[in-house]
Amino acid sequence: MTATILDGKHVAQLTEAALAERVTSIKSRSEGRTPVLATILVGDDPASATYVKMKGNACQRIGMESLAIELPASTSTNDLLRQIEELNLNPDVHGILLQHPVPSQIDERACFDMIALEKDVDGVTCLGFGRMAMGESAYGCATPQGIMRLLEHYEIALSGLHAVVVGRSPILGKPMAMMLLEANATVTICHSRTRDLESHVRQADLIVGAVGRPEFIRADWIKDGAVVVDAGYHPGGVGDIELQPLLERASAITPVPGGVGPMTINTLIQQTVQSGEKSLA
Ligand code: NAP
């Protein structure tokens, strides 16, 4: 069996063309105004700076504006809360992205939760998570929502599958598990205290690697015909799953790079366009 490649780069490019048209249409209906994504970068971590720049570039490609806010590494929780509140109140801002992680003196959860629900286009608030988990409308957390959109694009039927998610972080593993549950998969969530991880992974019809350790999930744990989703990205272009041997055994597989990564940014801008449409159109 040769695995279908779940080509996130391709799907993101396709969607960008459609998003550019939606932005043009918003502009024509609202005296030239476009949706605006505010990005907040705290400190000078080079990887975070690169991610924020990539998000700003994606806005530009579809004709949408972004507002880049850069704060010093010494920023306090209160400073950041005040900044977010200002953006919540700014009618020209339709989405707010607080780049994770923030410096350790900041209460990141409090700051995420300060983001107004209607501007939470990265899907990081507890309220948004709770609503999503209850099947109510909310913007999905960008990486798992991007994975769901990728699976949908390739018409992977999820109902009744046994999905195993390895990782339970607030921005990836947990919302991923809830989204798969909402799509009627039977979900197992594994984490660092899970006993005999391999035995759980062996049962997966769909496996999601969200561990943050290079090729930690071994190819020979994964059964033939499984759908393989790898959220990880590490130097050398490897993910959290040993992917190479699975190209001939899985039914579908996300490449690294070019699978999950492009869908994350694409989901963020798609949700910002949706938010812009709600308040501008
Ligand atoms: P994280 O916050 O570090 O969470 C890692 C998770 O893996 C935790 O839940 C942890 O369990 C679990 N884990 C650690 N060691 C384990 C072990 N030995 N066995 C089983 N589970 C174990 O990482 P994250 O932010 O979710 O990111 C996960 C991966 O996704 C990383 O490779 C990251 O680079 C990637 N990522 C990609 C994107 C994208 O846009 N492509 C976005 C975000 C993240 P505990 O909860 O028990 O500690």
Query: Which residue's CA is the nearest one to ligand 1's atom 31?
Result: 212
Query: Which residue's CA is the nearest one to ligand 1's atom 18?
Result: 192
- Sort strands 227-230 and 186-190 into parallel, antiparallel or unpaired: unpaired
Q: How far is residue 214 from each of residues 182, 239, 245, measured CA to CA in Å?
A: 29, 6, 15
Ligand 1 centroid – CA 209 distance (Å): 8
Instruction: Give the separation between CA 274 and CA 276, rounded to whole angstroms.
Output: 5
Residue 70 inside a domain? The answer is yes
Is position 122 annotated as part of the catalytic site? yes
pLDDT (tens digit per residue) in 141-177: 999 999 999 999 999 999 999 999 999 999 999 999 9
Residues with CB under 6 A from ligand 1: 143, 166-169, 171-173, 190-194, 197, 210-212, 231-233, 240, 260-261, 264
Is position 55 annotated as part of the catalytic site? yes
Beta bridge partners of 194: none
Residue 125 inside a domain? The answer is no
Grade residue 1 by pLDDT with cuts at 50, 70 and 90. Answer: confident
**The token pair that represents 226 in the structure block:** 């499984």
pLDDT (tens digit per residue) in 189-212: 999 999 999 999 999 999 999 999
CATH code of the domain in which 36 resides: 3.40.50.10860
pLDDT for res 49? 97
pLDDT for res 281? 67
Quick check: helix, strand or coil at residue 247? helix
pLDDT (tens digit per residue) in 257-270: 999 999 999 999 99
Instruction: Please indicate, yes or no, whether residues 241 and 179 belong to a single structural domain of this protein.
Output: yes
Ligand 1 centroid – CA 210 distance (Å): 5
Instruction: Give the separation between CA 224 and CA 128, rounded to whole angstroms.
Output: 36
Grade residue 128 by pLDDT with cuts at 50, 70 and 90. Answer: very high
Beta bridge partners of 4: 252
Instruction: Give the separation between CA 190 and CA 107, rounded to whole angstroms.
Output: 26
The residue range of the domain holding 97 is 31-118
pLDDT (tens digit per residue) in 6-55: 999 999 999 999 999 999 999 999 999 999 999 999 999 999 999 999 99
**The token pair that represents 229 in the structure block:** 């989703």
Residue 274 inside a domain? The answer is no
Instruction: Please indicate, yes or no, whether residues 102 and 174 belong to a single structural domain of this protein.
Output: no
Instruction: Please indicate, yes or no, whether residues 85 and 157 belong to a single structural domain of this protein.
Output: no
**C-beta atoms surrounding 97 within 10 Å:** 26
Given the residues 7, 119, 120, 122, the one annotated as active site: 122
Residue 237 inside a domain? The answer is yes
Instruction: Give the separation between CA 237 and CA 88, rounded to whole angstroms.
Output: 37
Mutate to test the pocket of ligand 1, among 147, 172, 207 (most ligand atoms within 8 A of CB): 172
Contacts of 184 (CB under 8 A, 6+ apart): 158, 159, 160
Mean pLDDT of all residues in 127-137: 97
**The token pair that represents 151 in the structure block:** 């699976």
Mutate to test the pocket of ligand 1, among 98, 109, 112, 169 (most ligand atoms within 8 A of CB): 169
Nearest to 229 by CA among 6, 4, 1, 2: 6
Query: Which residue's CA is the nearest one to ligand 1's atom 1?
Result: 169
**The token pair that represents 96 in the structure block:** 């707010």
b/e for 71-92, b at 16 or more Cβ within 10 A? beeebeeeebbebbeebbeeee
Beta bridge partners of 201: none
Instruction: Please indicate, yes or no, whether residues 46 and 103 belong to a single structural domain of this protein.
Output: yes
Residue 81 inside a domain? The answer is yes
The overall average pLDDT reported for the chain is 97
Nearest to 260 by CA among 277, 274, 241: 241
Residue 277 inside a domain? The answer is no
Instruction: Please indicate, yes or no, whether residues 147 and 109 belong to a single structural domain of this protein.
Output: no
Quick check: helix, strand or coil at residue 239? coil
Query: Which residue's CA is the nearest one to ligand 1's atom 40?
Result: 261
Number of domains observed in the structure of the chain: 2
Ligand 1 centroid – CA 262 distance (Å): 18
pLDDT (tens digit per residue) in 215-236: 999 999 999 999 999 999 999 9
Query: Which residue's CA is the nearest one to ligand 1's atom 5?
Result: 211
Instruction: Please indicate, yes or no, whether residues 101 and 197 belong to a single structural domain of this protein.
Output: no
Ligand 1 centroid – CA 26 distance (Å): 37
CATH code of the domain in which 167 resides: 3.40.50.720
